[in-house]
Amino acid sequence: MLYALFVLGIAMVAVVATAYWSVRFAARWGSVPGPALRLGRGAYRESRVSREVPRGTPSPITWTAGIGMVWSVLTSLVFAPMMLCVGAMTDGVGLIGVVTGVGLVVTGSSGFFLGLALACIAYFVLRRDREVVDLAEGAVVWSVLHHLSGLLFVVLHAIVTPGPGLLILTAPIWVFGLAHAYALQDAAQLTLEGPPPDDEIIAA
């Protein structure tokens, strides 16, 4: 119970941090044309001027990063320990049983570090760090392999474990992880749209 409250607290901190970074780094996403303003009155005197208004952090970026932050917490603190425990307790009778147990342990170990990577990528995406694209591509490949492997091993676990395969109920979790990996890649690509942030221009 205390551990569940701890995880919930960390997840809430992740949501607040996402909102804070989304506002703090909003200026790095440039400007867009605002509504046209009418200046002057009368014939030959009236004109319309469009002013630039801050674009702010795009909603897809905020949502993807926010989900990524919460997902990173769940991956490192919930799913990874669960895979480690289940893998350690899996009956190792037969080749499939041994492969399943070892695979779950490896997947759990990978999940702990993957969660940390997802949190870092979410932060870099929010601050519109253009180097994040290269980092995100590696994280996406890692995440895809991790979730596909996890899905495979939970299916194998349901086969080798007598009784109802309760672990198979986690299949939607692995599918969701795959979907988020591709959403993260799209969010990273948005960092390349438009002119670079002013501080990057000055640094260049």
Q: How many CB atoms lie within 10 A of CB 202?
A: 7
Give the per-residue pLDDT at 46.
57
pLDDT value at residue 202: 44
**How far apart are the C-alpha atoms of 46 and 26, rounded to whole Å?**
34
Residue 91 φ then ψ, to 5°:
-65, 125
pLDDT, residue 87, reads 79
By the 8 A CB rule, do 53 and 165 touch?
A: no
Q: Which residues pair with 31 in a beta bridge?
A: 54
Taking the chain (204 residues) in runs of 10, the rounded mean pLDDT of each run is 85 91 85 60 58 75 90 89 82 72 86 90 87 81 89 80 66 86 85 66 46
pLDDT given for residue 203 in this prediction: 47
The pLDDT of residue 43 is 57
How many Å apart are CA 25 and CA 6, to the nearest integer?
28
pTM reported for the whole predicted model? 0.77
CA 8 vs. chain centroid, Å, equals: 17
- Write down the residue that tokens 């969660």 correspond to: 115
Residue 201 CB neighbours (<10 A):
9
Q: Which of 128, 120, 137 is nearest to 22 (CA)?
A: 128
State the pLDDT at residue 58.
85
Selection from 174, 188, 103 nearest residue 138 by Cα: 188
